[in-house]
Structure 1
Amino acid sequence: MSLVHPGPVRALPSRGPVLPTAAAPRTVELFAHRGASGHRPEHTLAAYRLAIRLGADHIEPDLVSTRDGVLVARHENEISGTTDVGDHPEFADRRTTRAIDGRTVEGWFTEDFTLAELRTLRAIERLPAVRPDNTRFDGRYPVPTFDEILRLAESEGRRLGRRIGVTPETKHPTYFASIGLPLEEPLLRSLRTAGLDHRHARIAVQSFETAGLRWLAARSEVELVQLTSATGAPFDLAAAGDPRTYADLMSPAGLREISTYAQWLGPEKDSVVPRDALGHLTAPSPITDEAHRAGLKVVVYTVRAENRFLPADLRIGADPAARGDVAGEVRALVEAGVDGIFADHPGTVRAVLDGLTDG
């Protein structure tokens, strides 16, 4: 296998994948998962900026809505674990319980705050036991808007002389639509305002649901990523009484259907290189080859450097928070044929990808 890192300026291909050929060696795109979230509290401008400087091709914001319809970047709309909202007595009465995608969730929710109110909060590390070094940044950074992230990617790309992709994920779109705050319309509006609603933009919108991606496919030429899970089903399908699961979507017929509206498949890494009963890596599954046959590129999530997230045979030592052989996992995924990798430690994965050449 030959893997070639992209040059300093490289755009996403136009709609429809460019698959490896003898004349065009395959590249593997590096997507910074919520920014450089192994080094800074996730979904902050500091995390995104660091990811870009560590060599990420794309940065990934998860998008949720404020009460006044502004898209902001948070892992979930429940923010008790990613902001200091619990330390703000003025918001104590907003703690509540919601049903989100069939689950009961208690806490504070972005949809109960205006952007101005949300701006009074500060981000905190979501995994303090795993990433204690990141906690020294707690309280420093505000919650960014999607528009700010787009501007950051443009300005950092201009400074570095390369184009930076932005790969937003719509979180719980069926839920947000049900409360009158649909995510796709303001997302598309932001792209158009930024001049990024076209096929040559380095934009790829992701979702675990299907309806929002289909809506965007009918109205925009940006690339789309159908995310899948090893278990369960898209909530929009389940809510509509559609019995299809993620496994159905990842079948050959399901992949052909996805290719009618999306350009990427986004499976979790265990769907690409499964683990055995003891947690060791096994041979790659056929999913990547089948997706390629359907005309889809494959971006896999999520590579993290800590032992607790790695296969058993790639852990180093007994400390779950210590770093293991993340390079071994990256190599296994590249050998399985993926076209992109989501990573929490983009600098580490960049170094592995840059070193994976032969001939």
Structure 2
Amino acid sequence: MFKSILTLTSLALLATSTYSRSVWNTLDGNPSKLAGHRGEKAFMPEHSLGSYHMAALMAVDYIEPDLVLSKDGVLMVVHNEWLGDTTNVANLTQFADRKKQYTFKGKYSAINRTEWFVWDFTYAELKTINRVQDTGYPYRPQYFNKDFSVLSFTEYLDHVEGLIKTLDRPFGVIPELKSPEVFNALFPSANGRGYEDRLLDIMTKRNYTLNQPPPLSPVMQSGDLLDNILNIKPKNYAKPNYKLAALQSFDPETCEYLGKKTKIPIVSLDQNKPWMYTPKGLDKIASYSKILSPGKDLLLAGPALYFEYNKISYNKTEIESMGGFLQPKDLVREAHKRQIEVSPYTLPDSRQPSGLLCTRYNDTRFEYCPKNRKEEMFYFFDLGCDYIFVENIFEAQVLRLAFDNKIDSEDC
């Protein structure tokens, strides 16, 4: 009898220990999700079939395309509004006369450069242009520069959806609408939102607007993250009845428009809007977006230092009336209170500089400065960031597992 009591007690303690495992500081208590920035651009030309395929093989959670419009109104996958820095267009003599100067100044978009602009090329012409790898990083392979053409958004979706079936695992699509003001000016529509409507139309036709996932996922237990990466499904696994997606923009008016039109989560990207980092600013964001995605220095240096170093002016009285700037930990906590998830961008390959302000300026006001990618990712994991845009997904997966193991060991 005594032995049986001890056995039952041991089982109860074990069950309690498993259930009460320390959770992450994210909104749902689960490990931060990883979004492959332009696919896996650390090894493949960005936004290429190879880049997206490699991101999927590395078990990333979301695979990101950036969207622009071709001359004939096709949504294409290109990071910038121009082609010179990520394709071989400069070497194609038939397009030499397409290079031109273009200037645009809007509330949220500004362009002033001489380039090959995507809206001067038809879909058919863009398909003759190859993706090339950035030559500024000698460790990035240059072997694939003749292998991949510019993709349309539907080609991207075909590819990712094919990978979901082939690999039997979900991947989220997370398209960003680049410079909505520019494209809505170039392609006028009755409501002034034709650019956004083109995206929504495709997402609706592809059934991304049906059966969105529940707001919070069950909390992972010890070993679940590793199983997830290895695609080891639990015994009670049920195939999702939804297609995982989120829609991004730096334009808050576009985000607000999209938020009223769809149940797909909206990602508010930002690098220069001080009002967003106040309590009242978060209240406004919560009315249309489920995810706030700031440049990573905003969550490390803090808003005040970030805007000072980037020479971004703001009305101090207005910011104070909105509750004042929230420091990083408070910002994440207050965002979570409003059911807003947080997603900093972008954490690069460890072989290249982090680009953080604190590594470029000697200022004692920087409270912390990560010395390497491990320290950088651990900082954002500990902060409770729900998503992180990353490059070199393999490294990010290793570091996420290491942090998860750290949480597990602290609970023992």
* TM-score range for the pair, normalised by the shorter chain length: 0.7 to 0.9
Cα gap change, 1:273/1:2 in structure 2, threshold over 3 Å: closer, same or farther? farther
In the alignment, structure 1 residue 139 sits paired with structure 2 residue 181: no
Instruction: Report the counterpart of residue 228 of structure 1 in structure 2.
Output: 270
Deviation, 1:157, is 1.4
Runs of 4+ more than 6 Å apart? 312-315
Instruction: Report the counterpart of residue 117 of structure 2 in structure 1.
Output: 109
Q: Distance in 2 between matches of 1:310 and 1:331?
A: 17
Tell me which amino acid in the other structure corresponds to 1:77. Answer: E
Tell me which amino acid in the other structure corresponds to 2:249. Answer: S
User: 2:84 is matched with which residue: 80, 84, 95?
Assistant: 80
Identical pairs, percent: 28
Q: Distance in 1 between matches of 2:159 and 2:23?
A: 29
3-state secondary structure, aligned to 2:34: strand
Trace 1:1-359 onto structure 2 (pairs within 5 A).
2=22, 19-20=27-28, 25-100=29-104, 101-125=109-133, 127-180=134-187, 182-198=194-210, 199-200=212-213, 201-229=243-271, 232=272, 246-274=273-301, 284-305=328-349, 306-309=351-354, 311=356, 325-357=372-404, 358=408, 359=411
In the TM superposition, what whole-angstrom CA distance separates every residue of 1:284-338 from its partner, at most 9, and x where no partner exists? 45321221122200011000123422559999xxxxxxxx831221111011110
Q: Distance in 1 between matches of 2:284 and 2:388?
A: 23
Specify the structure having the higher radius of gyration (Cα): 2
Q: Distance in 2 between matches of 1:270 and 1:309?
A: 10
Runs (5+) with no aligned partner, structure 2: 1-20, 189-193, 214-242, 310-326, 361-370
In the TM superposition, what whole-angstrom CA distance separates every residue of 1:163-196 from its partner, at most 9, and x where no partner exists? 1101011101111001116421111121122111
In the TM superposition, what whole-angstrom CA distance separates every residue of 1:268-293 from its partner, at most 9, and x where no partner exists? 1111122889x9xxx94532122112
3-state secondary structure, aligned to 1:63: strand
Aligned length: 314
Tell me which amino acid in the other structure corresponds to 1:196. Answer: Y
Q: Distance in 2 between matches of 1:289 and 1:205?
A: 23
In the TM superposition, what whole-angstrom CA distance separates every residue of 1:5-35 from its partner, at most 9, and x where no partner exists? xxxxxxxxxxxxx923xxxx32211100000
In the TM superposition, what whole-angstrom CA distance separates every residue of 1:177-219 from its partner, at most 9, and x where no partner exists? 0111642111112112211123243110011001222222222
Tell me which amino acid in the other structure corresponds to 2:161. Answer: E
Tell me which amino acid in the other structure corresponds to 1:183. Answer: Y
3-state secondary structure, aligned to 2:67: strand
Q: Distance in 1 between matches of 2:27 and 2:384?
A: 10
The answer (yes or no) to whether the contact 1:43–1:73 under 8 Å persists in 2 is yes
Deviation, 1:103, is 3.1
Deviation, 1:349, is 0.4
In the TM superposition, what whole-angstrom CA distance separates every residue of 1:220-271 from its partner, at most 9, and x where no partner exists? 1111000111xx3xxxxxxxxxxxxx11022110111011011000011111
TM-score, normalised via structure 1 length: 0.82
In the TM superposition, what whole-angstrom CA distance separates every residue of 1:45-91 from its partner, at most 9, and x where no partner exists? 11011001111000010101101111111110110111111111111
Q: Distance in 2 between matches of 1:106 and 1:312?
A: 29
Cα gap change, 1:52/1:131 in structure 2, threshold over 3 Å: closer, same or farther? farther
Cα gap change, 1:197/1:78 in structure 2, threshold over 3 Å: closer, same or farther? same
Tell me which amino acid in the other structure corresponds to 1:192. Answer: T
3-state secondary structure, aligned to 2:244: coil
Q: Distance in 2 between matches of 1:42 and 1:216?
A: 26
3-state secondary structure, aligned to 1:83: coil
Cα gap change, 1:336/1:151 in structure 2, threshold over 3 Å: closer, same or farther? same
The answer (yes or no) to whether the contact 1:64–1:74 under 8 Å persists in 2 is yes
3-state secondary structure, aligned to 2:36: strand
Deviation, 1:350, is 1.2
Q: Distance in 2 between matches of 1:33 and 1:140?
A: 20
3-state secondary structure, aligned to 2:140: helix
